[in-house]
């Protein structure tokens, strides 16, 4: 992987991370990942990433907007913007890469001798992350999930690191803020960032394979707030009310056990109680067949649901979080 931008040059630089990708339609071709470096001199480095999954749009839009508009004269430090981390997936409108079928967020720390997705992950781990003090990884639900917009930090072993990440997530000022207990972060970007001791904020800002005006505005405000919080921009973070949520265990998640048409019985933001039916799945085979009921595993707020109209056995159908 070869960057076409210099990370230490002052000013704003648009360029690419160029990954060799020899293929039938381009013998000496490359995958071109857009990157923007905004270097305002002495100060911390923020690494802002979106498009880890290719069908999650809020973060990609907010970071393209930031790359276009950010004035290096107003930045104390350096902002590295990678708006489409998995560009092949972004171009295909898919979650995972069409080149190797690999999920970027299961490919970390990556492999310099691996497939395209592994090589991108490796470049982030070995070259971009060591430069960063503050890291933002913007996600949404993609085509198959839809979330109430939240920013999140993880429960971390070191109390000071845990507090720094939680404070940064709160600064993002999404309508909901979550403290997540990650049981297995094998292959995930966030785990690699956190084990390096960096401050990390992640998000889920909507989904269903599209962006909304409201969720894009949340992403743009959150990015700006985080840069102010990190000391890279002057000013005060824009304050907006947030509800703290906890997702304490596996009871938060309900999975479909049959295929069919997804009938939601409640919408995102509804308060539900344990055992309450939240959706039904209608079989497609004939009339006169009863739907399967899906119930909430615990009492709380209905924060995420399966997105398209058809559901398969094994799909995550509903997520309930507990307001704190
Ligand atoms: Ca995602």
What is the CA(27)–ligand 1 centre distance, in A?
Answer: 32
pLDDT above 90 for 35: yes
What is the CA(154)–ligand 1 centre distance, in A?
Answer: 15
Strands across the sheet with 292-295, in order? 292-295, 277-282, 260-264, 310-311
- Residue range 102-107: mean pLDDT, rounded: 96
**Percent of the chain residues topping a pLDDT of 70:** 100
What is the CA(215)–ligand 1 centre distance, in A?
Answer: 15
What is the CA(64)–ligand 1 centre distance, in A?
Answer: 18
- Higher local confidence (pLDDT), 184 or 78: 78
Give the pLDDT band (50/70/90) at residue 258.
Answer: very high
What is the CA(157)–ligand 1 centre distance, in A?
Answer: 24
Model confidence, pTM: 0.97
What is the CA(19)–ligand 1 centre distance, in A?
Answer: 23
* Structure confidence at residue 181 (pLDDT): 80
Domains and CATH numbers, the chain: 2-247 (3.40.630.10), 251-323 (2.40.50.100)
What is the CA(142)–ligand 1 centre distance, in A?
Answer: 6
What is the CA(202)–ligand 1 centre distance, in A?
Answer: 10
What is the CA(262)–ligand 1 centre distance, in A?
Answer: 21
* Structure confidence at residue 236 (pLDDT): 97
Phi, psi of 251 (to 5 degrees): -65, -15
The mean pLDDT of the chain is: 97
- Pairing between strand 300-306 and 271-272? antiparallel
Give the pLDDT band (50/70/90) at residue 183.
Answer: confident
What is the CA(156)–ligand 1 centre distance, in A?
Answer: 21
- Residue range 262-277: mean pLDDT, rounded: 98
Query: 106-130 pLDDT, tens per residue?
Result: 999 999 999 999 999 999 999 999 9
What is the CA(112)–ligand 1 centre distance, in A?
Answer: 23
What is the CA(322)–ligand 1 centre distance, in A?
Answer: 21
What is the CA(235)–ligand 1 centre distance, in A?
Answer: 30
What is the CA(52)–ligand 1 centre distance, in A?
Answer: 7
The sign one gets for the Cα dihedral 261, 93, 50, 224 is: negative
pLDDT above 80 for 11: yes
What is the CA(194)–ligand 1 centre distance, in A?
Answer: 18
Asked if residue 237 lies in contact with residue 229, where contact means CB atoms within 8 angstroms, the answer is yes
Distance CA 252, CA 34 (A): 37
What is the CA(132)–ligand 1 centre distance, in A?
Answer: 21
What is the CA(140)–ligand 1 centre distance, in A?
Answer: 5
pLDDT above 80 for 209: yes
What is the CA(281)–ligand 1 centre distance, in A?
Answer: 24
Burial class of residue 61 (count of CB atoms within 10 Å of its CB; 0-12, 13-18, 19+): middle
Which range among 35-44, 95-104, 183-192, 259-268 shows the weakest confidence by mean pLDDT? Answer: 183-192
What is the CA(56)–ligand 1 centre distance, in A?
Answer: 7
Distance CA 293, CA 112 (A): 46
What is the CA(74)–ligand 1 centre distance, in A?
Answer: 31
């Amino acid at each position: 992987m070869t960057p076409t931008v210099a990370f230490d040059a002052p000013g704003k630089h648009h360029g690419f991370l160029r990954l060799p990708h020899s293929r039938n339609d381009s013998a000496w071709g490359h995958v071109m990942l857009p990157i923007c470096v905004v270097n305002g001199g002495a100060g911390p480095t923020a690494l802002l990433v979106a498009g880890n999954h290719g069908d999650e749009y809020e973060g990609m839009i907010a970071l393209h907007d930031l790359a276009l508009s950010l004035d290096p004269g107003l930045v104390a430090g350096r902002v590295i913007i990678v708006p489409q981390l998995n560009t092949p997936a972004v171009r295909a409108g898919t979650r995972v890469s069409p080149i190797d079928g690999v999920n970027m967020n299961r490919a970390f720390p990556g492999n310099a001798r691996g497939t395209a997705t592994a090589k991108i992950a490796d470049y982030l781990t070995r070259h971009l992350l060591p430069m960063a003090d503050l890291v933002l990884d913007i996600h949404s639900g993609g085509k198959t999930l839809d979330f109430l917009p939240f920013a999140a930090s993880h429960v971390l072993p070191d109390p000071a690191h845990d507090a720094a990440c939680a404070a940064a997530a709160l600064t993002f000022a999404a309508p909901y803020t979550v403290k997540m207990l990650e049981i297995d972060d094998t292959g995930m970007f966030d785990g690699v960032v956190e084990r390096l001791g960096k401050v990390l904020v992640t998000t889920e800002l909507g989904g269903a394979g599209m962006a909304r005006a409201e969720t894009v505005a949340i992403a743009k405000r959150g990015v700006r707030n985080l840069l102010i919080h990190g000391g890279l921009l002057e000013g005060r973070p824009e304050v907006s009310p947030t509800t703290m949520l906890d997702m304490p265990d596996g009871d938060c998640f309900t999975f479909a056990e049959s295929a069919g048409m997804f009938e939601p019985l409640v919408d995102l933001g509804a308060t539900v109680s344990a055992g309450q039916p939240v959706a039904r799945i209608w079989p497609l085979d004939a009339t006169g067949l009863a739907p399967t009921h899906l119930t909430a595993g615990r009492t709380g707020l209905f924060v995420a649901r399966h997105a398209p109209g058809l559901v398969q056995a094994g799909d995550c159908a509903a997520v309930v979080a507990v307001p704190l």
